[in-house]
């Protein structure tokens, strides 16, 4: 009786490993750096979209943006420090706004970078002010 061949030979396994390694070597350089690019895109979407909308809703309800001292926390809980909002209808956000690097977004009202009324920004991957910051100006 003839025996059935079960499994792979060592040469077949090595050939598969070489092919997979070659594919990884071609694709990996193209993917390197994309995660940082994606994080920057998320921060831009937060600053120019989600957080901007929440701040605008707060301003429509209360006639002004939160003070710098109240910060973005005013979008989660009604501020008790002056100027106390008279028509707070929040929360305007579901969770604390953190940038993709797990740090709080920075907020200042009134802002110093026209045309916006407020400054909203992330310090980027290095956590220090510089060219890699993501801003609304």
- The DSSP code sequence of 7-67 is S--HHHHHHHHHHHHHHHHHHHHHHTTHHHHHHHHHHHHIIIIIHHHHHHHHHHHHSSPPP
Closest CA to 78 of 105, 58, 103, 102: 58
Asked if residue 79 belongs to a domain, the reply is: yes
Q: How many CB atoms lie within 10 A of CB 32?
A: 9
The model's pLDDT over 26-65, given as tens digits with 9 standing for 90+, comes to: 776 666 667 888 899 999 999 999 999 999 999 999 999 9
pTM listed for this prediction:
0.74
Alpha-carbon distance 28 to 65, whole Å? 45
Domain count, the chain: 1
Q: Which residues of the chain have pLDDT under 70?
A: 1-5, 28-33
pLDDT number for residue 34: 75
pLDDT number for residue 92: 96
Domain that holds residue 88: 60-94
Asked if residue 121 belongs to a domain, the reply is: no
pLDDT number for residue 33: 65
Asked if residue 84 belongs to a domain, the reply is: yes
């Amino acid at each position: 009786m003839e025996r059935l061949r079960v499994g792979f030979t060592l040469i077949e396994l090595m050939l598969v490993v070489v092919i997979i390694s070659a594919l990884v070597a071609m694709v990996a350089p193209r993917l390197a750096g994309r995660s940082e690019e994606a994080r920057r895109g998320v921060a831009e979407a937060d600053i120019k979209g989600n957080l901007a909308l929440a701040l605008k809703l707060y301003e429509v309800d209360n006639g002004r943006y939160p003070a710098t001292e109240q910060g973005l926390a005013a979008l989660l809980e009604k501020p008790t420090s002056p100027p106390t909002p008279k028509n707070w209808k929040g929360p305007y956000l579901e969770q604390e706004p953190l940038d993709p690097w797990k740090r709080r977004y920075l907020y200042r009202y009134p802002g110093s970078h026209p045309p916006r009324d407020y400054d909203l920004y992330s310090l980027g991957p290095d956590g220090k002010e510089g060219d890699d910051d993501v801003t609304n100006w």
